[in-house]
Amino acid sequence: MGSEKIQKKQKDKNQKRYSIKVIPNSKVTGVFKISEPTSYESILVRLRSPPVKGKANKELLKMLSIYFGAKVRIVSGKNSRKKVIEIY
């Protein structure tokens, strides 16, 4: 049981969080790095999808998973343009 906790802590250390600002309905799409604050890196993402019925969030997760080459999930801000995502 103790080894399971150690493995879980090691997995958590590999996770990284980013502060994201999303601009939906954009003509140009892409991931743009803004700055590197102390706790989170800030990223600007432009998407073509409208913010309707989760279309923009789906496009965001797909784009970021390709960009980072890892799984991505939205930690907070599912209904906002400002989001916190986690890479795992």
Q: What is the DSSP letter of 85?
A: E
* CATH number, domain 15-87: 3.30.1200.10
Q: Where are the domains of the chain?
A: 15-87
Give the pLDDT of the chain (88 residues) as one tens digit per residue.
Answer: 555 554 444 456 678 899 999 999 999 999 987 766 555 568 999 999 999 999 999 999 999 999 999 999 999 999 999 999 999 9
Q: Could you tell me the two tokens for 76?
A: 């907070």
Q: Where are the beta strands (DSSP E) in 15-67?
A: 16-23, 30-35, 41-46
Q: What is the DSSP letter of 53?
A: T
Distance separating the N- and C-terminal Cα atoms of the chain: 23
Amino acid in the structure at residue 75 = V
